[in-house]
Amino acid sequence: MGGMDAVESEALWDEFHQLVNMTSQELSAWLETREAAESTETSPAGVDTEAGRHVLSILLKRRVDLTDDDVHVMHQVVEAVETRQEQVDGAGDIEWRHSLMTLGHDPLKPGSRR
């Protein structure tokens, strides 16, 4: 993966897959719902279904098939999920939860990292 060594590559892959706790089927269904809703509401800043679609495409790949662009998106998603988790104390804010779900992380899923 890009200019990363094997240890960095494995660490990013593992962290991404720990934070992205929705299955590809769950994320795909969620993104279809969000795309329908986006015509009537605005998305939280920096989170749109295009980013979610890229996450979905990564979930469907093997690590050896990742592109440099995929690696970049994985870094962005890890950072964004960790940052958003710190922004709201709890999952009571529906917009906050939806922004995380669009990146493949459902904070209400059992075993979710907070």
With the CA atoms of 38, 83, 94 and 71 taken in that order, what torsion angle do they form, in degrees rounded to the nearest 10? 40
Which pLDDT score is estimated for 7? 79
How far is 78 from 40, CA to CA, in rounded Å? 28
pLDDT digits (tens), the chain, 114 positions: 555 677 788 999 999 999 999 999 999 999 998 765 664 454 444 467 889 999 999 999 999 999 999 999 999 999 999 988 777 655 458 888 888 999 999 988 887 765
Looking at residue 113, its pLDDT comes to 60
pLDDT value at residue 68: 94
Q: So what's the pLDDT on residue 1?
A: 57
Q: Is 81 in contact with 97 (CB distance < 8 Å)?
A: no
Closest C-alpha to 24, from 49, 72, 61: 61
Give the pLDDT score at 40: 44
